[in-house]
Structure 1
């Protein structure tokens, strides 16, 4: 399983900087990075609807939960919604589960992981937004305790990582903009738009 040297350097540098500040925070970062290197893990290779590889996401068990490391290239600059979806199928032209009349890119991956009884951003698969620079590169490292690595691959239909075409507003719609609060679409996806790239977690 190959990890980009740049991502390794970023994680390692963050650990050294925080460790140099003293206190427990540096120790936690060092422990997290070391555990990710040695721990149980899985990976998803991200492809767009045309089959072009645009990056990958690695999941590793660490003491605080699951470390998520995403790396993408070749995307337009800006923020993108990043989520784990509940079905491990990344079919570029497919029907939504339970709704064969609705078709589109990667609809086969279903909804967000852990989303049946929750609203956005409380789905287990809701992750921080991915920022892509002017160079078309995006890097993200986060730790979540909402799922573990085993959950991503152990169930019958697996899971998938999704990059959406727009930013995720996390259903943050102040009453001054909408007196009734966020609508059903916002509560489902955070208005992150269509599905841009997908990768099955393996």
Structure 2
């Protein structure tokens, strides 16, 4: 290896080390712990980046039986009992609310969940517009994001929240392990 090639090699190594130190990688898989209005854990939702969006794998208990709304909200704060601190549905594209709305949906609009008589729900759903990577629809925003469950089902059309009732559970989406 010649003197100039060696210098070029050292410059590349140095540049790589600088870039590696400055770049904070977004996780492509993480767990979100949800709490109820009494701040007690009701389980977790695992988020995983997919080619078609973010897959949510639900493993929850202690919920009222029936159909409930599930949304991603635009603030990274879950203060019980009403979880108003979670903000509104994540909507960076300024769309109308609702998976059924012709001018929707928000990035944070998700399918309803069905909780069994035992208060449990397990399953998978997709957040097709969301990503764990950088970009407009990233779940890692400067204000943070949350996952919220409501006491009623989302009708998929009513503005701004699908007439889905009160917030009954919340979980903070975060790169941190806290």
TM-score band, normalised by shorter chain: 0.7 to 0.9
CA contact (8 A) 2:75 2:143 kept: yes
The corresponding residue for 1:72 is 60
The corresponding residue for 1:131 is 114
Secondary structure, in 3 states, of the residue corresponding to 1:108?
Answer: helix
* Partners of 1:61 and 1:116 in 2: CA distance: 20
2:103 equivalent to 1:90: no
2:129 equivalent to 1:146: yes
Q: Pick closer, same or farther for the CA change 1:109–1:116 going to 2, 3 Å.
A: farther
Q: Pick closer, same or farther for the CA change 1:116–1:146 going to 2, 3 Å.
A: closer
2:85 equivalent to 1:108: yes
Alpha-carbon shift at residue 51 of structure 1 (Å):
0.9
Alpha-carbon shift at residue 116 of structure 1 (Å):
6.8
Provide the alpha-carbon RMSD of the alignment: 1.6
CA contact (8 A) 2:91 2:108 kept: yes
Q: Pick closer, same or farther for the CA change 1:115–1:196 going to 2, 3 Å.
A: farther
Alpha-carbon shift at residue 83 of structure 1 (Å):
0.3
Alpha-carbon shift at residue 64 of structure 1 (Å):
2.2
The corresponding residue for 1:33 is none
The corresponding residue for 1:21 is none
Secondary structure, in 3 states, of the residue corresponding to 1:191?
Answer: coil
Q: Which runs of 4+ in 1 moved over 4 A?
A: none
Alpha-carbon shift at residue 77 of structure 1 (Å):
1.1
Aligned residue runs from structure 1 range 53-72, under 5 A: 53-72=41-60
Alpha-carbon shift at residue 115 of structure 1 (Å):
6.0
Going by fraction, where is helix more abundant, 1 or 2? Answer: 1
The partner residue of 2:144 within 129, 148, 158 is 158
Structure 2: stretches of 5+ with no match in the other structure: 1-26, 99-104
TM-score between both structures, scaled by the size of structure 1: 0.64
> What is the aligned length?
138
2:166 equivalent to 1:189: no
2:94 equivalent to 1:117: yes
The corresponding residue for 2:170 is 198
